[in-house]
Structure 1
Amino acid sequence: MLLFLKFLLAHILGDFVLQPESWVKDKEKNKIKSQKLYLHIGIQTFLLLFFVQFNVQKYWLGILVIVVSHFIFDALKLQFQQKKTKRAWFVTDQILHVLLLFFATTIYNNFNFSFKEIFTEKTLLFIIAILMVTSVSAVIIKIIITQWNPESKKENDDSLAKAGRYIGILERLFVFVFVVTNHWEAIGFLLAAKSVFRFGDLTSSKDRKLTEYILIGTLLSFGFAILIGVLYRYLATLI
């Protein structure tokens, strides 16, 4: 595990901390011809060597696997990503990097990996709870409040696409964590913070229906998150 953490730290430093935004733009513009791409790979190589104390004789194969795969993944991402698929390529790229770090670690350390250890009752219960808080609750709330939708989408609407959905998911995740960790006071703070940010929308709007619509959605969102959090805590104690 220690070796994997060293590899992961080197990756985080090289890919995020020590890679300026200007390098990223240069790579996106010039792709595989970008000098910043090779400088980035060079920094990754140095960091890997640094964290294994430059023990090339022992770790050369693992470092070679990481460096070559890192270059291939970055080159493919730069070559094929589009503006619309940039997010998907970033997530895929990072997942592949981490998987290769894990693979390189297995060259030196044997991991006793078993699905039975992952898919325990507590793990499955936690996954179900997260899905209930995010996706399931979003669908149920949408079905409930659709009948009261007070406004249609305007051409000059400057709100972010699907922002409401993501805000709802994030707030329910926060509430769920607060309930599970028994920090109920934080829920009140979150509700107050959301009310402050929503105050401008509610006061500038002369439509009372919009205020009621937002209030119903908020209470349903918080209510579902609290209910799922309480049920999760209760069921977790029974396992």
Structure 2
Amino acid sequence: MAETLALLLLAHVLADFVLQPGRMAQAKAAGHPGWMLAHVGIVGAVTAVLLGVQTAEAAWVVAGLTLAHLVIDAAKVGLSARLSGIAGFVADQVAHLVTLLLVAGLWPQMWANGLWAAHAPLWLPAAVALMAGAVLATRAGGFALGLLMRPWGEVGLDGLPGGGRIIGMLERGIIFLLILAGEPGGIGFLIAAKSVLRFGAVKEESRLSEYVIIGTLASFGWAMLMAIGTVMLLSALPPLGIPDLSP
């Protein structure tokens, strides 16, 4: 089951956060059916390719999962007036995760019976889980944080164009690596370093300091949650074969 779940999760994050351009996401949110169908087509194609689907049963399962993705995205558009912003984003992703867990639980051999499994190294599913977790921690986290901080969009630091987004991705990536490396204590040094670097810019402005604190804690919390989830999935998979670097 864990191997199938890892591949399904990577297919999902690639389709939602890597292969979905901003124009497509905006058109979907506006309820444009053509862009919605194009997106779910990508979901189905990526899922089928990564699993190496070669049986009629697996093809039907992927088709059902793709339909479920369409229903969830359509429901998100329909409920956008009541469920928007970060709440809508989290609800949407939780619903997708539930469908992935359901499929992996009911058809746990989809990866093993696929085209690639017989030729792939044993560590591949673990590498796939690591890739999916990294995308969720960095890129998906950027979307989540952007939605969370949107109500205070007029508050912010003047700096490089896109600098805050890049800093956020870097800090979440570092936290992700620290937890997977078994060195969560390093997160404290990251917090201290960011506090020192931001101190001069926010020390005399309470609104701005609160904005930075909320954004920082949310970013750190998201990265830690994604890293912990990745570690849990990795514990159920064959090891990557990376040597223990701790003293």
In the TM superposition, residue 34 of structure 1 has moved relative to its aligned partner by 2.8
Q: Which residue of 2 aligns with 1:190?
A: 191
Which amino acid in the other structure matches residue 85 of structure 1?
Answer: S
Which amino acid in the other structure matches residue 74 of structure 1?
Answer: D
- Give per-residue Cα distances to partners, 1:33-70, cap 9 Å, x unaligned: 43111001111111121122231413134213211110
Q: Whole-Å Cα distance in 2 between the matches of residues 65 and 8 of structure 1?
A: 16
- Give per-residue Cα distances to partners, 1:89-118, cap 9 Å, x unaligned: 1111111111111111222229xxxxxxxx
Change (3 A) 1:73 1:196: same
| Greater helix share, structure number | 1
Q: Whole-Å Cα distance in 1 between the matches of residues 6 and 18 of structure 2?
A: 16
Q: Which residue of 2 aligns with 1:71?
A: 70
- Alignment of 1:62 with 2:66, yes or no, is no
For structure 2, which runs of at least 5 residues remain unmatched after alignment?
Answer: 110-153, 157-170, 218-247
Q: Which residue of 1 aligns with 2:15?
A: 14
Which amino acid in the other structure matches residue 70 of structure 1?
Answer: H
Change (3 A) 1:184 1:77: closer
Change (3 A) 1:39 1:192: closer
Q: Whole-Å Cα distance in 2 between the matches of residues 61 and 105 of structure 1?
A: 14
Give the secondary-structure state (helix, strand or coil) at the position aligned to 2:53.
coil
Instruction: Give matches, 1:4-43, under 5 Å.
Output: 4-29=5-30, 31=31, 33-43=32-42
Once the two structures are aligned, what percentage of the paired residues are identical? 19
User: Contact 2:65 / 2:99 at 8 angstroms: preserved in 1?
Assistant: yes
Q: Whole-Å Cα distance in 1 between the matches of residues 202 and 41 of structure 2?
A: 50
In the TM superposition, residue 18 of structure 1 has moved relative to its aligned partner by 0.2
Q: Whole-Å Cα distance in 2 between the matches of residues 40 and 87 of structure 1?
A: 21
Instruction: Give matches, 1:1-239, under 5 Å.
Output: 1-29=2-30, 31=31, 33-82=32-81, 85-109=84-108, 159=155, 187-188=188-189, 190-202=191-203
Q: Whole-Å Cα distance in 2 between the matches of residues 107 and 37 of structure 1?
A: 27
User: TM-score, normalized by length of structure 2?
Assistant: 0.49
Q: Which residue of 1 aligns with 2:145?
A: none
User: Contact 1:62 / 1:105 at 8 angstroms: preserved in 2?
Assistant: no
Give the RMSD, CA atoms, in angstroms.
3.5
Q: Which has the higher contact order (CA 8 A, sep 6+)?
A: 2
Change (3 A) 1:67 1:194: same
In the TM superposition, residue 71 of structure 1 has moved relative to its aligned partner by 0.5
Which amino acid in the other structure matches residue 35 of structure 2?
Answer: K
In the TM superposition, residue 198 of structure 1 has moved relative to its aligned partner by 1.4
Change (3 A) 1:191 1:93: same
User: TM-score, normalized by length of structure 1?
Assistant: 0.50
Which of these two proteins has the greater Rg computed from alpha carbons? Answer: 1
Give the secondary-structure state (helix, strand or coil) at the position aligned to 1:88.
helix
Count of matched residue positions in the alignment of Structure 1 and Structure 2: 144
Q: Whole-Å Cα distance in 1 between the matches of residues 155 and 83 of structure 2?
A: 19
Q: Whole-Å Cα distance in 2 between the matches of residues 96 and 159 of structure 1?
A: 32
Q: Whole-Å Cα distance in 2 between the matches of residues 182 and 53 of structure 1?
A: 36
Q: Whole-Å Cα distance in 2 between the matches of residues 184 and 68 of structure 1?
A: 43
